[in-house]
Amino acid sequence: MHKLVLATNNEGKAGELRRLFGDAGLELEVVTIGEIAPGLDEPEESHEPGTTFEHNAALKARYYARATGLPCLGDDSGLEVDALGGAPGVISSHFAWDGATTGEPATLTRPQRDEHNNRRLLREMQGVEGEARSARFVCTMVLARPDGEIACVTRGTLEARIGTPPDVPRGEMGFGYDPLMLVAPDFTRTGAELEPLEKNSVSHRGQAARALIERLHAGVLGGGSPGNA
């Protein structure tokens, strides 16, 4: 069985990807970087204006592939809000601190950070009404071979609108901004109200993962497809 390292310790992301790969019949043992190399230093992502999701995903994929000697999938995802000029973008996971990852945010759990980020987003959107609350989830996946060479890049998006309190936050599933986001096409349910199978069928991460799965079945890593069919 092939082993694939995920350049993340986010169990929400890891769980979604494991389900998607398993449903696709890929014989892959998917492990997070914390499981395969606990204590390994993290690469420094860029939070500078103009930085793209692809840049940060590639940085992580290359770094961890070389460090572990295994193929690695780097995933950078976030929220782009039209009324905020595309923010929070690459600082989505640390929006409440303008992208800072040290100090207070380093002491918080992921759910606690999510709560801070969500509160800031709702503050920033005060006074913005209706369709002007448009936004999208974006996910870019970069697959690196063990030597750090990029094997492929895939991307997915999910259109949404930011709900207005007290209608949001709503829902018990998902993570991050999901409880605030009314997702396309009907904009009536939040991302946190979608069952896992339905969410995977429409989500930004699901789209990027399915494109990646096609490349894996085609043997993008070399040595034949990791599929079992």
| Residues designated as active site | 76
Nearest to residue 208, comparing CAs of 156, 158, 138, 150? 156
> What does the alpha-carbon distance between residue 82 and residue 15 come to, in Å, rounded to a whole number?
29
DSSP tag of 42: P
**Radius of gyration, alpha carbons of the chain:** 17
**Three-state SS for 137?**
strand
Beta bridge partners of 153: 142
C-alpha torsion angle, residues 174, 83, 108, 15 (rounded to 10): 30
> What does the alpha-carbon distance between residue 7 and residue 76 come to, in Å, rounded to a whole number?
10
**Count of H-run helices and E-run strands, the chain:** 7, 6
- For residue 149 the two structure tokens come to 């060479």
Nearest to residue 1, comparing CAs of 158, 161, 156, 224? 224
φ/ψ of residue 22, rounded to 5: -65, -45
